[in-house]
């Protein structure tokens, strides 16, 4: 966890570096012109910061259910970390490219999809190896949430390539997907008589 948290922190720091470079231009232009000329970089930073933060939160939640690890957990975790450290690059490509380029959309959303796939793989693996989790680990590791999120990213990737004019807005499909998974979880817990998920 400490190694993973440090890697995420470094990735977020690297994500900020293009904005640091942009700040030097304030000697030549006004703040308004500076922001207007670099709006793509600023938006890419904000979106990617939020994405990394959300993925880190999910990663943290998964490992709260774990008490031990094995070689497979380490392998899955490194796949997840690889996707995280690549995100500053994909954000920079997104900021400096045509917004309707399907290749750029595929690169960015594909990287996020890889991260989500790794987390889903981790959830499934830990559920199949209860010796690595706390006693209530199977309850805390919600497979449906992980798989729906991953499936939504995969759908967003496909649609962003087929209909590139919508671009990154396909990621908004996560909003109804989260609503659906929330309803499924509530229904499951209400029928089982157990308290709802945290």
Stated pTM of the model: 0.83
Alpha carbons 90 and 154: distance in angstroms, whole number: 17
Q: What is the mean pLDDT of residues 147-158?
A: 90
Residue 184: exposure state from Cβ atoms within 10 A (0-12, 13-18, ≥19): middle
* Mean pLDDT score across all residues of the chain: 85
Geometric angle at alpha carbon 192, from 187 and 198, rounded to 5°? 65
pLDDT at site 192: 52
pLDDT at site 149: 87
The pLDDT tens digits for 49-58 are: 988 998 999 8
Lowest mean pLDDT among 4-8, 41-45, 148-152, 155-159: 41-45
pLDDT at site 102: 86
Exposure class string for 85-114: b at 16+ Cβ within 10 A, else e? ebbbebbbebbebeeeeeebbbbbbbbbbb
Alpha carbons 86 and 51: distance in angstroms, whole number: 13
């Amino acid at each position: 966890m400490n190694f993973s948290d440090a890697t995420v922190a470094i990735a977020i720091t690297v994500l900020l570096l293009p904005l640091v470079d942009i700040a030097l231009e304030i000697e030549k232009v006004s703040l308004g012109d500076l922001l207007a000329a670099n709006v793509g970089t600023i938006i890419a930073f904000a979106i990617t910061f939020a994405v990394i933060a959300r993925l880190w939160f999910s990663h943290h939640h998964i490992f709260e259910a774990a008490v031990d690890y094995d070689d497979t957990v380490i392998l899955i975790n490194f796949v997840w970390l690889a996707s995280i450290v690549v995100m500053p690059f994909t954000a920079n490509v997104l900021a400096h490219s045509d917004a309707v380029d399907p290749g750029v959309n595929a690169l960015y959303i594909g990287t996020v999809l890889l991260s989500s796939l790794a987390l889903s793989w981790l959830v499934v693996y830990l559920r199949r190896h209860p010796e690595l989790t706390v006693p209530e680990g199977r309850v805390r590791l919600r497979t449906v949430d992980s798989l729906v999120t991953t499936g939504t990213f995969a759908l967003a990737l496909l649609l962003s390539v087929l209909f590139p004019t919508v671009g990154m807005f396909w990621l908004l499909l996560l909003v109804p997907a989260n609503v659906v998974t929330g309803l499924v979880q509530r229904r499951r817990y209400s029928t089982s008589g157990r308290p709802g998920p945290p």
